[in-house]
Homo-oligomer: A and B are copies of this chain.
Amino acid sequence: MGGKTGEVCIKPIGIIRSPYRSRKTAPKQGFLADDVSYVDLSPEYELGIQGIVVGDILDLVYWMDRADRDNLFNDEKKKGIFATRGPDRPNPMGITPVEVLDVAGNTLKVKYLDALDGSPVLDIRHSLFDSFGGVKGKKF
């Protein structure tokens, strides 16, 4: 972080493996598909996932490296991009609640993730949705 007007530089903590190779094949929201994805955490962060167990709901924060960062307006919804969750935005982060299916070493197996294959992972965190009966516990 280089001061209030400077850039924030983030080192990815891992990489996502998913069945989605292009935006056309990815679901609009993660909870609309039951596909399985994997989060390969870089080994130096393995201590950070201690205590994560099967069934946990986590928010996965990832970088949408194939997004259009110059877009500020959603023509279809006739709204500014910050009033939506569209992927094309100045700082294109995906923030998706996922359910943990397995933890093996430094790899998390999850469902409901909507990230493209190869997306860098920026953060993993306990989800506020954990108290809502899971990702699919409510319609949203």
Chain A residues with CB under 8 Å of chain B are: 1, 4-5, 7-13, 15, 45, 47-52, 56, 58-59, 61, 63, 65, 72-73, 77-85, 89-91, 93, 95, 97, 118, 120, 122-126, 128-132, 138-140
Complex Cα–Cα for A126 and B85 (A) = 6
The answer, among B1, B84, B131, for a CB contact under 8 Å with A65, is B1
The A interface, classified by DSSP as helix, strand, loop or mixed, is: mixed
Cβ contacts under 8 Å, A129 to chain B: 128, 140
Q: Is the CB of B47 within 8 A of A80?
A: yes
Q: Is the CB of A91 within 8 A of B125?
A: no
The answer, among B49, B59, B79, for a CB contact under 8 Å with A80, is B49
Q: Is the CB of B47 within 8 A of A72?
A: yes
Q: Is the CB of A90 within 8 A of B13?
A: yes
